[in-house]
């Protein structure tokens, strides 16, 4: 049986604070985000990246990235993760032009993902996401335990 570990990227594993803007409801400001995508190479890592590296060598774990980033950012994002030594089995992201709120987007992406992946189920999954609305929606909609990996006391802590 394969266990699925799902990682959000920004503010969860990746420190992209230098290019992150949010709306009053906590959703990412996508217009500003897209304008700053060229700065992805300047991102850092949060401490959860250490755990990611530890579990990625297990044969019974599938690593899924479920991010609000737009599809055009996928190549640069995967290049960044690869340079950081972070393996990705599946990459779920927002289609270009999709402005769906983050929580609805991630539930939709994950529901679709699990419907087409034989042997992977929400019952055997754990997710990490900084957005409370996403955590609640993923648990309520799919039954996936979704944890906030960033204690409020953490500041921007780059990890090598």
Ranking 19-23, 39-43, 151-155 by mean pLDDT, the lowest is: 151-155
The Cα–Cα gap between 110 and 101 comes to 14
- Domains annotated for the chain, with CATH where assigned, are 3-147 (3.40.50.1000)
Let me know if 82 is exposed, middle or buried by CB neighbors in 10 A (0-12, 13-18, 19+).
Answer: exposed
35-65 residue pLDDT tens? 887 787 788 899 999 999 999 989 999 999 9
Q: Helix 132-142 crosses helix 102-116 at what angle (to 10 degrees)?
A: 40
Taking every pair of Cα atoms in the chain, the longest distance, rounded to a whole number of angstroms, is 41
Instruction: Select, from the ranges 24-33, 86-95, 141-150, the one with the highest average predicted confidence (pLDDT).
Output: 86-95
6-17 residue pLDDT tens? 999 988 999 888
Per-residue confidence (pLDDT) for residue 152, from 0 to 100: 57
Strand pairing category for 44-45 and 14-15? antiparallel
Beta bridge partners of 5: 63, 126
The Cα–Cα gap between 91 and 61 comes to 15
pLDDT above 70: residue 154: no
pTM assigned to the model: 0.87
96-145 residue pLDDT tens? 889 899 999 999 999 999 999 999 999 999 999 999 999 999 999 999 99
- Residue 160's pLDDT band (cuts 50, 70, 90): very low
Beta strands per DSSP E along 8-151: 14-15, 44-45, 61-70, 90-94, 125-128, 145-147
């Amino acid at each position: 049986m394969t266990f699925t570990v799902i990682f959000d990227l920004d503010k969860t594993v990746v420190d992209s604070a230098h290019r992150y803007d949010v709306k009053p409801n906590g959703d990412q400001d996508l217009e500003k985000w897209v304008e700053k995508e060229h700065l992805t190479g300047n991102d850092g890592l949060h401490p959860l990246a250490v755990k990611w590296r530890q579990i990625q060598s297990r044969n019974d774990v599938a690593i899924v990235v479920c991010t609000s980033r737009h599809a055009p950012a996928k190549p640069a994002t995967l290049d960044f993760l690869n340079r950081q030594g972070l393996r990705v089995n599946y990459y779920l992201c927002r289609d270009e032009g999709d402005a769906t709120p983050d929580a609805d987007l991630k539930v939709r992406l994950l529901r679709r993902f699990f419907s087409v992946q034989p042997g992977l189920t929400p019952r055997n999954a754990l997710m990490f996401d900084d957005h409370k609305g996403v955590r609640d929606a993923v648990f309520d909609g799919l039954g996936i335990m979704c944890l906030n990996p960033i204690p409020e006391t953490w500041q921007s802590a780059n990890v090598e």
